[in-house]
Amino acid sequence: MSTVNLTEETFADAVQRPGITLIDWWAAWCGPCRSFAPVYEAASTRHPDIVFAKVDVDAQPRLAGQFGIASIPTLMAFKDGNLVFAQPGALPPAILERLISAVRELDLTKAAVDAADAEGSRG
């Protein structure tokens, strides 16, 4: 599968769907973004069940602003509509694969229970 470009109009549908959506926030003038692009594209062919999306911060400045994108590339991962990872910086192929595995294995129900338990122990 190849990557899809997201806009303000298509963003919500892409991230709120069941499953995993990875988003690469990028710009054409960004050297690290250009270096990361083939790594990201290659991963998209190895994981056809995941939506690999890109947001051009120059073409979508309001969307980038809504998510506080201050450094590019920034990679975000959504699972079943929940933001589960966000980090600036280009990832090497092996680290991207580990991230994908971690997101696949993430149990959102357990994570919610753990978060509620942690919140309860503080208050």
What is the per-residue pLDDT across 53-103, written as a single tens digit (0 to 9) for each? Answer: 999 999 999 999 999 999 999 999 999 999 999 999 999 999 999 999 999
CA distance 16 to 76: 13
What is the per-residue pLDDT across 20-66, written as a single tens digit (0 to 9) for each? Answer: 999 999 999 999 999 999 999 999 999 999 999 999 999 999 999 99
The residue extents of the domains of the chain are: 4-122
**Across-strand partners of 52?**
22
Helices (H), the chain: 8-16, 31-46, 61-66, 93-105, 108-122
Average pLDDT for residues 103-120, to the nearest whole number?
A: 72
Residues noted as catalytic: 30, 33
Residue 20 phi, psi (nearest 5)? -110, 135
4-122 CATH pick, 3.90.1170.50, 3.40.30.10, 3.40.50.300, 3.10.150.10: 3.40.30.10
Radius of gyration of the chain (CA): 15
